[in-house]
Structure 1
Amino acid sequence: MPSSDKPYRLSAWDQAASRAHVRLAICFDLHSSTPREAIARQLKTTLSLLAKAKPYYAGRLFLGPRLGWAYMHEAAEYTIPLEVHDESKSFGMTYEQFRQDGFPAHATVHPRYCIDGTLRDYFGEGDGVPAIVIRAFFVNGGLVLSIFFHHTFGDGDAMGKFIEDFAQQSRSSLPIPTTIQDRDLSFTGFNDPCDYTLSAESLFKACPEYVYEPKQLGPNNSIVGPGGISPDEYPKTGRTFVFHKDSIDRLRTAIRSQLNPNANTATAAAAAAGSAFPSAYVALAALTWVHTANARRIGESHIEQPISSDQNDDAGSGALINPVNWAYRTFRDTHHGYTGNAVMLARTKVPVCDLAAAAGDMTTLAGVAAAINMAINFDETFVRTRLQLADHVDDPRNIMLSFDARTREDFAFNTWRDFGADCEWDLLGDGRTVKADALRRPQPDWNLVGSLILPARQSSKLYEIVITIPAPSMKVLVADDRYTKWTRRIVG
């Protein structure tokens, strides 16, 4: 465990993470007589105890002496910042309306969720960006407890662990137990050293999902290539598509029945997996990628496309990005308790003609699902190579994602399904516990494209997927019964 008396450099995994906050809104129903002041006091007490139990949650992030590299400082006097806001008038609806409408995504897209995560030079104690910020937004009849979790500090899985700790601490008047393994920043996942004789150029070629950009716009932000219109000119929107487990199981069965094990290596591997293929995640990713690409080809046909700058692959292919936690797939004996970044961006490339065909042909869709399945089931060599890249570059801000959101066939699919929905919270400090009604991803503005499976309780049979694409394309997607026939309803 790094000493807290002086700043320390974060791991290579953390250096390569996006330098912005990951956000999560936890929604609670409140009785009209529930004292807001008591909740605010309980939250403040809980966060104070949690900072004592696990000081790294209250740490400060900044740029250190090595160019562009992120450092962290812990100190006993640091706290996890808490802001309390009354949004009763500005929220636009009561909490009951929010719930009745299915907790629509548009209700949590607002400038109130804006926060500056830019890391700057360190000038002394107290300086720097808090690793975590909490904002409690009270609305008429409810609480939207919002987590701002800096990606340099940890990924979505780490945020999920923080939420569990936060909820556990709310139920205890003493700091919760901790272990020294919780924040082992020296952890790499390997027992033997990496080969650092490779050049940065060769490493970027070996990691085609990344490109080198000397303008320090990263790390891990998507590129904006030549041609096309500015991302800011796109009208953006989002909707939540709700699937039931029964329809997902039917989709999985349909995909599995159409596998041709002799088609290629990916389908052969999928066929060998038997009933385990495709998982609900892979089936939904394939279906959603194919149909959003179809909707964008129609809805954005009048918009000039960017010029492909992909030097690592054919321009005639679409790309799907899947964030995947490698700690659960590789080096399983060495990651126990680790709470830093452990996400790899698996990239699936599929010819544009196959994406178009898969919107109406189950056999082709099965091939897309098999390709995704192969991409996310990477091995230790895949992980090791990306560690070398992250630790090799002179300035990690020069690592950019080879992904242009303006490209109609490029998409991103992620899941937070297992994050925090089953946590029990003591909001008043009186021993009574509640679970959240819903967890949502708040944003200051819509993303251009992307999708996320929202958190859900383990007992839930519903899968809620927030999809963001340009507004003209969303109209096409909502009207596409080849996609919506698999859904239970559309929210928003």
Structure 2
Amino acid sequence: MVRCVVQSQWLIYSKHLPSISTAKRHSIQAFPLFAISGRGSSSHTLSADDNAKPLLMGPLDNVMPRHHITPKALFIPASSSSKEKILKILKSGLAQTIKAIPTVAGHVKAASNPIQEGSMCVTTPFGAVEDIFTAQDLTESHPEMDYDDLKRRHFPMEAVDSNVVYSLPDLMKAEKPVFLAQANFIRGGLVLGISLHHSFGDGTSLKTILQTWATCCRGESAAPTLTESTRRERLMSSETGASLDEFPEYATIPDNIAGYQPGVAKGEGPEIAPEPPQVDSHVFYLSAQRLKGLKDLASAKLEGSDWISTSDALSALLWRSITVARNLEPGDAATEDTRVLNIPLDGRRIMREDTNSYMGNMILFNNATTPLRNLLSSPPQLPEIARTIRQSISRIDEKYIKRAISAIGSVPDVSKVIMSGGTFGESALTISSWGNLHMDWGHVIGGPSERVRVSKIPFPGVCVILPASEPGNRSTEPNGVEVMIGLKSDDMARLMNDPFFASFAEWRCS
């Protein structure tokens, strides 16, 4: 089984496929290449004519899973406003958001007669608020959803019923909405269920949509640069000779793979994944003080200009601890055994050009590799593990991004390009960090959201780092972070009984 690890939002997609060796990767230069251009050289403001034209997706969009990023639930405390007033403000704010970013109310589907086979697009005409927003009152039908009680229990994931709090797209339809939102009134608060189609954008794109919506709900104006933020021609590359062989994070599906149907329009048919194993999902908390101690420990023995980030240290702890939990007999690890960690990176932080306002996918996939014995060593070798992670991240630069875009754009059928996290099966581990989605929705709605949750993590080997998770007096003490982890039940039990892991991470909820 090849496990295709995707962003960012940790949405993992698995397919039963044979191992795909590097030798079988395609490196065909068949189509015009792409180039990154900043806002100054490729600005474009949406007009009435643009509203009648489909928005073609770019190379990094087309390799994303062709369905919605894992839906999220934002928990917002109650205000003194009536439900009617809150709904009026939410709808008005979303209407202004659609005006600033019309494609938010569009639908994603396979492009007709694209330059590159298998490309996706956002269809027109774009819709309105009522097409993407719904609301319901759960105060009587779901009395167990009491905000104060949920907060006391750290907002458990099990309280988020995906069949209740989300408005989800019909998986059987060829066209799926770009964005969907549902307001759920519960006792003492509001749960805002949201989801975004991954072919349209990544986690940063979702954050931009929510920021704009919240800004408009506060009575402020949307940023003027948003009208050009979705233009895919801003992300193009003049690199030549780039081949998919250069990027082990990507692979292609051979034509003769069982289940691949060349006769089906690319992107039209629903993807059917195998039944996943039993997965336990838990949330752990690391205080600011423990994070500092963790970074100090992982920074030991650094020389010269070497450095690691707090994120590197946390990733090292997770990689080591989860690997130990998965290996019942550490002493049996063969010398040549290796493990791979996938860390999605936001290319906006790497590019020199102004891409901060770009609303599309700019996620690059980075695989860090280390011998299994390094992860299982006792005492834990966090400094060495953290350095391995930092070195793997440091190799991703602007030239790498441009060549990756060119390589993806050179494949004849982009629908057959997958993010391969390697062929390492059940040893796969992905650690992604969600941007801070705690927006201030204004006093009418209830102010800043206090938590972000999902229903569950559907696949084992997925970790999500959530910043600013501990509310309180932020001016006197920095916040810690939460980490959502999904593992097989037995592995999770061993992780929770690991004294080294428990010395940094406190169990919160499931």
Where do residues 269-418 of structure 1 align in structure 2 (5 Å cutoff)? 272-273=305-306, 277-298=307-328, 316-329=337-350, 331-357=351-377, 360-362=378-380, 364-377=381-394, 378-403=396-421, 407-416=425-434, 418=435
What are the ranges of 5 or more consecutive residues in structure 1 without an aligned counterpart? 122-127, 225-229, 262-270, 301-313
Q: 1:226-269 deviations in whole A, cap 9, x for unaligned?
A: xxxx963521111111001111111111121134x5xxxxxxxx
Asked if 1:424 is matched to 2:457, the reply is no
Q: Which amino acid aligns with 1:439?
A: V
**C-alpha distance in structure 2 between counterparts of 1:451 and 1:38, whole Å:** 38
**What's the CA shift for 1:395?**
2.5
Residue 101 (structure 2) pairs with residue 68 (structure 1): no
In structure 2, the residue matched to 1:42 is 89
Match of 1:28 in 2: 76
1:131 aligns with 2:178: yes
Aligned residue runs from structure 1 range 233-272, under 5 A: 234-259=277-302, 272=305
Say how many residue pairs are matched. Answer: 435
CA RMSD of aligned residues (A): 3.2
Find the counterpart in structure 2 of residue 265 from structure 1: none
Q: Please state whether the residue corresponding to 1:84 is helix, strand or coil.
A: strand
Contact 1:68–1:397 (Cα < 8 Å) also in 2: yes
Give the equivalent residue in structure 1 for 2:23. none
Summarize the Cα distance change of 1:143–1:475 in structure 2 as closer, same or farther, 3 Å threshold: same
Aligned-partner SS, 2:298: helix
Q: Which moved more, 1:155-164 or 1:385-394?
A: 385-394
Hey, what does 1:481 align to over in structure 2?
499
CA shift in 2, pair 1:315/1:45, >3 Å: farther
Q: CA deviation at 1:405?
A: 9.5
Question: Quick one: distance in 2 between partners of 1:435 and 1:299?
Answer: 47
Instruction: Give, in angstroms, the shift of residue 63 of structure 1.
Output: 0.6
1:367 Cα deviation after fit = 1.4
- Residue identity in the other structure for 2:454: R
- 8 Å contact kept, 1:42–1:427: no
Pairwise CA distance, 1:401: 2.5
Q: Which residue of 1 aligns with 2:168?
A: 115
Q: In the superposition, relative to structure 1, how do residues 180 and 235 fare at CA in structure 2: closer, same or farther (>3 Å)?
A: closer
2:452 is equivalent to residue 454 of structure 1: no
Q: 1:114–1:208: structure 2 CA closer, same or farther, 3 Å change rule?
A: farther
User: For 1:434, which of 430, 439, 447 is the aligned residue?
Assistant: 447
Q: Secondary structure at the match of 1:456?
A: coil
Amino acid of the residue matched to residue 351 of structure 1? Answer: P
Q: Distance in 2 between matches of 1:114 and 1:400?
A: 28
Give the alignment's TM-score, normalised by structure 1: 0.80
What is the percentage of aligned positions where both structures have the same residue?
A: 21
Q: TM-score, normalised by structure 2?
A: 0.77
The secondary structure found in structure 1 opposite 2:199 is coil
Cα distance in 2 for partners of 1:174, 1:453 equals: 31
